[in-house]
Amino acid sequence: MKRISLLTVAAVMVAAAASAQTKLTVITTTEDVASIGREVGGDHISIESLARGYQDPHFVEAKPSFILKLQKADLLVAVGRELEIGWLPPLIQQSRNSRIQPGSQGYLDASLGAAILEIPTGTITRAMGDVHPQGNPHYWMDPENGKRIAKQIADKLSEIRPADRPYFQQRLADFTARLDAAEKRWLAQMSPFRGTKVVTYHRSFPNFSERFGLDIIGYVEPKPGIPPTPQHTLDLINEMKRQNVKIILVEPYFDLKTPNAIGRDTGAQVLVMPPSVGGTKEVTDYFKLFDYDINLLMEAIKKSGAK
């Protein structure tokens, strides 16, 4: 009798240890997806992003230390739409991990279930700059897409770990409800300022603008991925003066020299607006990203009195 109970205790302990050990390892390419994944996966997963929020996600270095992280991953979540084309493919190839190869169960392209803007039509050439032929990859800047990313991650985690499905789905429902409430608040905050004209450095904010009613009239970059040229800057300044644009949004990883010069000439404010979680130290999760950006915008619009 004593032996049996000892065995039972041992078995329970082993089972407990096993379930504690088998946290799913999830690697994401960006901190935004990691933040959403953390909401959905809770303490049943460990999740980490390769890129940092304050670095340009197009130009991440394919460091060998990333190979070590991918080697152990059960799931890799990519933003997709060729955002990571310059660095992710060789990392996956060298990861020696068959679970996360594209097409395998452990590879999730989160863009496949999201609403994508700026999908180019007609002939595309590189004369148009570094265009993304499958559409703009900065789609996470809309909370509606945040929910879609969360749903895909929850479904994928449930697929890999069916026993935890109720846990993931419950956390998804909770996250979605909280995001719904927050989105209502953000929309209400921004509603007086709908139609505000802005200029952005790179095309990082189309989804954000569409959701929250900004009107992007131009870009500091003449074409995606092409640094500013004097002629384009001059044209942009004239257009901004004509349309009375008082706000320039710059991602934290771009040089402020040209935006500041444009600001001086047009009287517009230059806002360093993170498009990603981790873009500044205050933005520690997906909710704070919108909190921070919307606050920043509202303060600036109020100050300028422009619309």
* Residue from 3, 126, 242, 281 binding other proteins (CB under 8 A): 126
Q: Does 121 bind other proteins (CB under 8 A)?
A: yes
Of 215, 224, 205, 216, nearest to 290 by C-alpha is 205
**Interaction of residue 181 with other proteins, rule CB under 8 A:** no
DSSP state of 104: S
**Sequence letter at residue 122:** G
Among 119, 128, 181, 234, binds other proteins (CB under 8 A): 119
Q: How far is the CB of 83 from other proteins (least distance, A)?
A: 11
Structural contact between residues 186 and 234, judged by C-beta atoms closer than 8 angstroms: no
Asked if 284 is part of the footprint of other proteins (rule: CB under 8 A), the reply reads no
Round to whole Å and give the CA distance between 111 and 113.
Answer: 5
Check binding of 233 to other proteins (CB under 8 A).
Answer: no
> From the list 42, 46, 225, 233, which residue makes contact with other proteins (rule: CB under 8 A)?
225
Q: Which of 6, 13, 63, 238 binds other proteins (CB under 8 A)?
A: 63
Exactly one of 129, 174, 238, 302 binds other proteins (CB under 8 A); that residue is: 129
Stretch that binds other proteins, among 116-124, 189-197, 212-220, 294-302 (CB under 8 A): 116-124
9 exposed, middle or buried (CB, 10 Å; 0-12, 13-18, 19+)? exposed
Residue type, 190: M
Q: How far apart are CA 184 and CA 70, in angstroms?
A: 37
With CB under 8 A as the contact rule, the residue among 147, 197, 211, 232 that binds other proteins is 147
The yes or no reply on residue 227 touching other proteins (CB under 8 A) is yes
46 makes contact with other proteins (CB under 8 A):
no
Give me the least distance between CB of 11 and other proteins, in Å please.
30
* Region class of 306: left (phi > 0), else alpha (psi between -120 and 50), else beta: beta
CA 166 to chain centre: 26
Specify the long-range contacts of residues 97-100, CB closer than 8 Å, at least 24 apart: 97/70, 97/71, 97/72, 97/73, 99/73, 99/74, 99/75, 100/27, 100/70, 100/73, 100/74, 100/75, 100/76
Residues in touch with other proteins (CB under 8 A): 52, 54-56, 59-65, 67-68, 71, 82, 85-87, 89-90, 93-94, 96, 98, 101-104, 112-116, 119-121, 124, 126, 129-130, 133-135, 144, 147-148, 151, 225-227, 252-255
